Structure 1
Amino acid sequence: MTSETDSAKPPEAPLDQTPSATTSDVPAFGWSGYAERVNGRFAMIGFLSVLLVETLSHDTFLHWSGLVP
């Protein structure tokens, strides 16, 4: 029989696979929840960077980067 505190604990990972600092996910390659979370965070940083460039330069990102004349 388990108590409520036992069910709230994240599952323990093997000794060679330490969970992430922010989640109970174990870092893994491929289509894992951890990989998707990291990709989403980098996408948000990239999107905010584009907005910042456009705001500070008063020009579109594609024109600023030289991809569109």
Structure 2
Amino acid sequence: MTDATKVTTPAMEGDRNAWKFGFTPQAELWNGRLAMIGFLAAVLIELFSGQGVLHFWGLM
């Protein structure tokens, strides 16, 4: 495949792990990663404390 036949999309250009602000593909990747970490933290709190997250923090 020659350079003339390569097709690039905006999502393929640049560093996909760069920290960029606004509605960009990079921001969506970081949003998903941080959401997964938060969900895992909530599950671990429930497993080890025997309470829900809101009860653990005293909110209910």
More helix by share: 2
Which residue of 18, 34, 38 maps to 2:30?
Answer: 38
What percentage of residue pairs aligned between the two structures are identical? Answer: 36
TM-score by length of 2: 0.72
RMSD (CA atoms): 2.7
TM-score by length of 1: 0.63
Dislocated runs of 4+, deviation >4 Å: 8-11
Aligned length: 56
Residue in 1 that maps onto 2:2: 3
State the structure with bigger RCO (CA 8 A, min sep 6), 1 or 2: 2
- Give 1:41's aligned amino acid: R
Residue in 1 that maps onto 2:55: 63
Structure 2 stretches lacking a partner, 5+ long = none
